[in-house]
Every structure is written in C-alpha cells, then in structure tokens.
C-alpha cells in the first residue's frame, strides 16, 4: 500500500472509469463524503454523465488523500486559488500535499505528491480537425511534428500533446489564460518527456518532470510536476479503488 513517505520522491497517479459505481453508490458517496458545496455543485449539472464524473472525481481525490493521512475522507477542506486550482486548507497536516484532479467522458484521474505543484489531465480521444487546432494553438515545434505524420496517426499524437500541455498549465495554476504556444514538447513519443519554452517565457525545463499513461485506446493521461533541480521523481500508477478511511 502507498505511504506518505513515498510521496517525497514519487508522484502517484490514481484513476477510475466513471462506470465504477452504481447510481445508488454514487448517491451514497455524494451524501457521505462530498462537502455541502460540492453537493450543491452536483445539483447544478444538467446531465447525468456530468454529475457522475464530478462525484466520482471528487470522491476519488478525498479517498486518495486519506490513503496517506489518517483523516476521514469527508473532513478534507479545500479552497480555490485565484485562478481556481484547489488547495488543502484543513486539516493543517495535509498542507504539505500537492494534488490535482481531472475528469473526462468515461474516466477520472488524480495525482498527488509532496515534491511540488502537480497537474493531471485525462482526455477522451475524439475525432476533430486536429491539425487546424494545433496550428491555431500549439507551439511551432509541435505543429511540425503533427504535419510530418500520416493523418491517421495525428489524433493519437494530438491528444498526447494536449494532455501534457493541460497538465503543465494545471500544475502552474494559471488555467487556459496561458499562451499554449509559449511552451511545447519536442517529442511525445520518447520515454523521457522534456519541455521547451519560448525565449520570453520565464521558466526552466530542468524544474519539470512529465509522465503519460494510456489506460485504453480511447483515453490518455498526462501528469506534470514542478520539482527541485536534480530531483527525478518516480511515477506510480494505482488503478485500484482507494480504501481511504475505509468507512465510506
């Protein structure tokens, strides 16, 4: 089982299909684990699939955090940063934990570590005009890679870029206000993923580590963590349902 001490040198990725729980189980999770504010948010969703994804994701991160500290999963309290990234405010012993969560059609994901700010993104591979979108938003080095590929290979590569870019943005806590062309990934097909920045962007590649995972042909996950220079974290994957406090 994972331990809190592991997170001083590792980043843990947890994910679940949103079909993991029945409707009754979801209702129980919402009632027993989610905060009143989160339950109010659930009620505002117009579509059942969005309610399911939200409940599963927020239940997941609470139970994941309770894997590492003896805190009931319902007792975690969060506050958003000015740009919306959630942070732990209670219990105070959890303030050293960095976490992030993401959900898409069919899957939810979370990442947690003690190393530094972390971002996670999970996406469903969808048909769209990938090359035009890349030309509009991506860095030139990424566009060049896509243009060199056969059209049949572009969708998978596009979402590898997209999840990595989203994970970096979420780790930075800046949202989509960040210029997507100001940073890029030289080769998302290599095992070791590196980032490159535009000359006028104040960031450094050696401060970042990235990881990507493809749980099935329809989904891609990427994780970004800001860590100290010379620190090379290990990434570990957990597909099991977290036991958390095991009571809810």
Mean per-residue pLDDT, 68-80: 94
Residue 51, pLDDT > 80, answer yes
Domains of the chain by range and CATH?
9-238 (3.90.470.20)
Percent of the chain with pLDDT over 70: 98
Q: Are strands 234-238 and 10-17 parallel, antiparallel or unpaired?
A: parallel
115-137 pLDDT per residue, tens: 999 999 999 998 888 899 999 99
Report the C-alpha gap between 202 and 75 in whole angstroms. Answer: 37
Report yes or no: 14 and 101 within 8 Å, Cβ to Cβ.
Answer: no
Confidence of residue 150 (pLDDT cuts 50, 70, 90): very high
Q: Is the pLDDT of residue 16 over 70?
A: yes
Q: Within 13 A of 97's CA, how many CA atoms are on the CB side?
A: 30
Q: What percent of the chain clears pLDDT 90, i.e. is strictly above it? A: 78
């Amino acid at each position: 089982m994972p331990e809190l001490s592991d997170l001083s040198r590792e980043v843990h990725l947890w994910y679940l299909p949103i079909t993991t729980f029945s409707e009754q189980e979801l209702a129980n999770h919402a009632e027993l684990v989610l905060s009143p504010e989160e339950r109010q948010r659930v009620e505002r969703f117009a579509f059942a699939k969005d309610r399911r994804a939200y409940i599963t994701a927020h239940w997941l991160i609470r139970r994941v955090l309770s894997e590492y500290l003896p805190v009931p999963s319902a007792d975690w309290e969060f506050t958003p940063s000015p740009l919306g990234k959630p942070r732990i405010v209670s219990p105070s012993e959890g303030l050293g934990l960095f976490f992030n969560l993401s959900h898409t059609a069919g899957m939810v994901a979370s990442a947690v570590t003690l190393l530094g700010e972390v971002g996670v993104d999970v996406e469903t591979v969808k048909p769209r005009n990938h090359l035009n979108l890349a030309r509009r938003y991506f860095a030139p080095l990424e566009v060049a890679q896509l243009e060199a590929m056969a059209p049949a290979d572009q969708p998978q590569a596009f979402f590898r870029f997209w999840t990595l870019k989203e994970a970096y943005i979420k780790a930075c806590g800046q949202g989509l206000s960040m210029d997507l062309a100001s940073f890029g990934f030289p080769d998302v097909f290599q095992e070791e993923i590196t980032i490159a920045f535009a000359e006028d962007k104040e960031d450094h590649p050696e401060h970042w580590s990235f990881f990507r995972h493809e749980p099935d042909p329809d989904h891609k996950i990427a994780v970004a963590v800001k860590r100290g220079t010379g620190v090379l974290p290990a990434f570990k994957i957990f597909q099991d349902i977290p036991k958390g406090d095991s009571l809810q």
